[in-house]
Amino acid sequence: MLKITREQIGRLIKLQQIETDKKRIKATLENLPDQLAELDTGLDRAEKAVNNKKTLLKDYEQKYRSYESDTEINRTKIKKSEEKLGFAKNNKEYQSSLKEIHELKNKNSKIEDDMIECLDRAEEIERDIKSRKEDYNKIGKKINIEKNIIKNQAKNDEHKLLELHAERANIIESVQKDLIEKFFIIQKKQTNGIAIAKAKNSICYGCNMNIPPQMYNDLQRCDSLKFCPFCDRILYWEQEKTDNAV
Ligand SMILES: [Zn+2]
């Protein structure tokens, strides 16, 4: 049976705190590239939205030019038909040219309506692009700020990690060797890396199981190392509060 003191247990609790903090900080730092990439994804999406609208605008501009050239062709045809009017040999030819001119003018009138609609739509898209560009700039600025915050946090985390590392080394040196060895063996076996758990109100806070009464009494003396019979973690006793607070 390993003899212990409250002080030694206190150091193990501190060591556990350091181990947990280190794990959390390391996970945050490991997640850093993903976090930054995720922010860039937001900006990429905004850029894509602008580009999609630009493509749509080009389609409408092309459509407009095509209408323009159609009306131009029709106008040339109208001119020719009007010339033909002057050379009509009889009424039939005359009427036929008139009909042609009428039909071509009708066609052009329809196309011109479409052109107006096309222009309206293009203007609408241009406004949309402008507002999306503003969004893009806003997002870009916001992302830069967020990136700086994350990077600063990472710097702090790295610094904190170094501090924890030094503190950890000090604690390891100040605790008896066999106790430390036991601590790390148990830690390795626990999926959450928690090697030491408090026992309070007869419950192991590592696994939430009830500790046998005799063991719970022994724990309160804090003179030998005790393990939870269910989760194998090192146990330490924490005094119950009178208000039953957990
Ligand atoms: Zn337990």
Q: Could you please report the per-residue DSSP string of 168-208?
A: HHHHHHHS-HHHHHHHHHHHHHSTT---EEEEETTEETTT-
Residue 16: inside a domain: no
**What average pLDDT score do residues 215-220 get?**
94
| Residue 244 counted as domain residue | no
pTM value?
A: 0.71
Range of the domain at 113: 30-174
Asked if 124 and 224 sit in the same domain, the reply is: no
Is the predicted pLDDT of residue 207 greater than 50, yes or no? yes
Statement to judge: residues 159 and 216 lie in one domain? no
Whether residues 153 and 204 share a domain: the answer is no
Do 37 and 72 lie in one domain? The reply is yes
Give the model's pLDDT for residue 239.
Answer: 81
Q: Decide which of 153, 174, 195 is a domain's last residue.
A: 174
Q: Quote the ligand 1 centre to 227 CA distance (angstroms).
A: 8
What is the arithmetic mean of pLDDT over 184-208? 96
206 Cα–ligand 1 center, Å? 5
> Ligand 1 centroid to 245 CA: how many Å?
20
Query: Terminus-to-terminus CA distance in the chain, angstroms?
Result: 30
d(CA 160, ligand 1 centre) in Å = 30
Out of 174, 194, 226, a domain closes at 174
* Residue 88 counted as domain residue: yes
pLDDT at 91: 93
Segment 213-223 shows an average pLDDT of 92
Which pLDDT belongs to residue 246?
45
Claim to verify: residue 83 and residue 203 sit in the same structural domain: no
Strand order in the sheet with 226-227: 203-204, 196-200, 234-237, 226-227
pLDDT beyond 60 at 112:
yes
CATH of the domain at 151: 1.10.287.1700
Average pLDDT over residues 46-66: 96
Looking at the structure, tell me whether residues 216 and 164 fall in a common domain.
no
Centre of ligand 1 to C-alpha 76, Å, is 94
Checking if the pLDDT of 241 tops 90, the result is: no
Give distance in angstroms: CA of 230 to centre of ligand 1.
Answer: 5
Verify that 188 and 149 share a domain, yes or no: no
